A and B are shown apart, each in its own frame.
Chain A
Amino acid sequence: MLGYFLRRVLAAIPVMLVVALFVFLLLRLSPGDPAAIIAGDMASPEQLAAIRESLGLNQPLYRQFFVWIWQLLQGDFSTSLMAHTPVLNMIGQRLEPTLSLALVSIVFTILISVPLGVLAAWKHGSWIDNLVMSTSVLGFSIPVFVIGYVLITVFALELKWLPVQGFRSISDGLGPFAQRIVLPALTLSSVYVALVARMTRASMLEVLGEDYIRTARAKGLAEGHVLFRHALRNAMIPILTVIGTGFALMISGVVVTESVFNIPGLGRLIVDAVLARDYPVIQGMILLTSGVYVVINLLIDLSYAISDPRIRY
């Protein structure tokens, strides 16, 4: 198990190197002067020259790459052009709203989608299945911002149950926090629920067609036991995988949801950075989210061993 863990961690290194190479090449290969892009529109010629110097733009490309990687490894993610503070500090300040939103959304997602998916697969072809599937297609097809605006219209503007926008830290008390996180979290989980419910259903259908399920039913086990102990456990791997790969979907959802609900998190940070062409922040955000994606999928790989005893390393 430890050997497997180490192998998987080592395998994540080339992935992150490819990410870094891509982010690096994106700036270097884009039309225009990288120094001018980094410096923004307001830079003086002296600033441009200083940036050229620090990027080592007069050196060969591979040397520039390794110098940059070395700076990253030392925690130097460069400085924001908008705020003139280190990128890592800016990310740290915006972390809490996004983490709260993401965690609440994942809890909503699992609570809603896994039971729905199991139910749809169990009653395959019935009206329940059709309802779950068509709702999930809806969740997949209606853009997150449309869902967000509809939720705001109904629950904030018409019914006046919840505030329209904004964010309160959980340290301000659970009530204010919960009031403001419910609508964004529902919005964000809409697409995720659709994805996970579909995958749960598909994976369960696959497993329910297996011989050992017929055997379990034939020997008279209770249907709930068959569904959750025999089927769901074996169907977990694709479900876990989609929760992991769906992280990318969640990022796009976070970016949009934070814009709709005016939440000062990482999603707003990257949108503001793009509008201001604050390239160091964009770069740092891509590296950070990709790193989180790699780590999440690493953890999910390792959790396979728990959900499926047949996998042993």
Chain B
Amino acid sequence: MSKPVSLSLPAPRRRLISLPRLPLTSAIALVVLVLIIGMAIFAPWVANHDPVALAPAFRLKPASAEFWLGTDAYGRDLFSRIVYGARISLTVGVGVTVMSILIGLPLGLMAGYFQGLDALLMRVMDGLMAIPGILLAIAIVSLSSAGIWTVMIAIMVPEIPQVVRLVRARVLSTREEPYVEAAVLMGTSTLKILTRHLMPNTLAPLIVQGTYICASAILTEAILSFLGAGIGTEIPTWGNIISEGRVYFQLKPSLVLWAGLALSLCILSINLLGDAARDALDPRMKKRGAA
């Protein structure tokens, strides 16, 4: 035997996201998203025109110092409409994400933990997942008035099964862990096991899934508006702008393309941040990244 091996190791540093190593694309995505959020919050100060005031005298004007992106067929300033449209898109994106997690998380926890409930709940979720989300959303909107709440609920319903399945799968794999068994044997209450031992393990994948739900909700809202089954046309949304602009597409493509660009950039930056979060939160991905 040679000299004794020292067993004192440096304490591992736990950091969820190592900021200095944030990839360039994620940094750009973050900046773009912050700009869009700022644009939405401060819309009355960013926009230089009333987004809904009709001005037939200024129909289809080209871009100028007065109208930065030109005007639409009703003489409304396109730039101001796109600025205000960000409000709807972000509200729908965040609202749908929060609501679907608030409903899906407890359902998934219970499905993963109580086997009797699991069979029933997962059949319901299978059925819900079998209905193409856009058709379900269209059907829900077509049955009631097309307000922002209807649209958000219509987009949320098809997202819930995704959350439930994700949480359930995570619970199923962690409930067999020794520390959960130990907690059960110690007589820890079921509620505490669910919230303190099982739920924290679901949060990392939920954060990643949440970004994808947000991006998908923004996209679905735009599709609904584009098809004429979305929020009423009196409210400027990116989907409504594109839907109205497509009539004049061959005459003035910018009516479709600017709103399309805003929509694409918004969804793109959320997706990129979701990917960055996934890489940062999933140790297996990180290990491979280093290899």
Residues of A bordering B, CB below 8 Å: 14-19, 21-23, 26-27, 30-32, 37, 124-125, 133-134, 137-138, 140-146, 149-150, 153, 157, 205, 209, 245, 247-248, 251-252, 255-256, 259, 270-271, 274-275, 277, 279, 282-283, 285-286, 289-290, 293-294
Contact = CB atoms under 8 A, between A and B. Distances in A.
Contact of A275 (B228, B242, B257): B228
A282 to B, nearest CB: 5
Contacts of A137: 268, 271-272, 275
Contacts of A37: 143
Lowest 9 CB-CB distances: which A-B pairs, in order? A18-B127, A252-B134, A146-B260, A141-B268, A251-B132, A30-B143, A141-B267, A248-B132, A290-B130
Nearest to A138: B268
Contacts of A293: 130-132
B128 A18 contact: yes
Interface centre among A134, A146, A293 (most CB of B within 10 A): A146
Nearest to B139: A282
For the residues of B in contact with A, the DSSP-based class is: helix
Given A21-B127, A146-B264, A140 B132 contact: no
A15 B123 contact: yes
A32 B145 CA distance: 11
Interface of B: 25, 123-124, 126-136, 138-144, 158, 215, 219-220, 222-223, 226-229, 242, 246, 249-250, 253, 256-257, 260, 263-264, 267-268, 271-272, 275, 288-289
B272 A143 contact: no
B132 A290 contact: yes
A150 B135 CA distance: 25
A286 B126 contact: no
Contacts of A125: 289
A286 B139 contact: yes
Contact of B131 (A19, A144, A153): A19
A133 B274 CA distance: 13
Given A271-B228, A275-B229, A248 B133 contact: yes
Given A141-B271, A279-B143, 8 more contacts: A19-B131, A26-B143, A30-B143, A134-B25, A141-B267, A144-B223, A150-B257, A252-B133
A19 B130 contact: yes
Contacts of A290: 127, 130-132
B203 to A, nearest CB: 21
Contacts of B264: 141-143, 146
A283 B219 CA distance: 24
A23 B219 CA distance: 24
A205 B288 contact: yes
Contact of B130 (A15, A157, A256, A277): A15
Given A15-B126, A19-B127, A21-B127, A146 B256 contact: yes
B226 A145 contact: yes
A251 B131 CA distance: 10
Contacts of A23: 131, 139
B205 to A, nearest CB: 14
A18 B124 contact: yes
A149 B256 contact: yes
Contact of B263 (A124, A143, A149, A248): A143
Nearest to A144: B223
B138 A282 contact: yes
Given A14-B123, A274-B229, A275-B228, A143 B219 contact: yes
Contacts of A256: 223, 226-227
B123 A26 contact: no
B253 A153 contact: yes
B260 A274 contact: no
A18 B289 contact: no
Contacts of B260: 142-143, 145-146, 149
A137 B228 CA distance: 27
B132 A289 contact: yes
Contacts of B158: 248
B217 to A, nearest CB: 13
Nearest to B137: A252
A247 B263 CA distance: 24
B126 A252 contact: no
Contacts of A14: 123, 126-127
A22 B136 CA distance: 10
A125 B223 CA distance: 34
A184 B215 CA distance: 23
Contacts of A252: 132-135, 220, 223
Nearest to B212: A140
A282 B142 contact: yes
B268 A26 contact: no
Nearest to A157: B250
B290 to A, nearest CB: 9
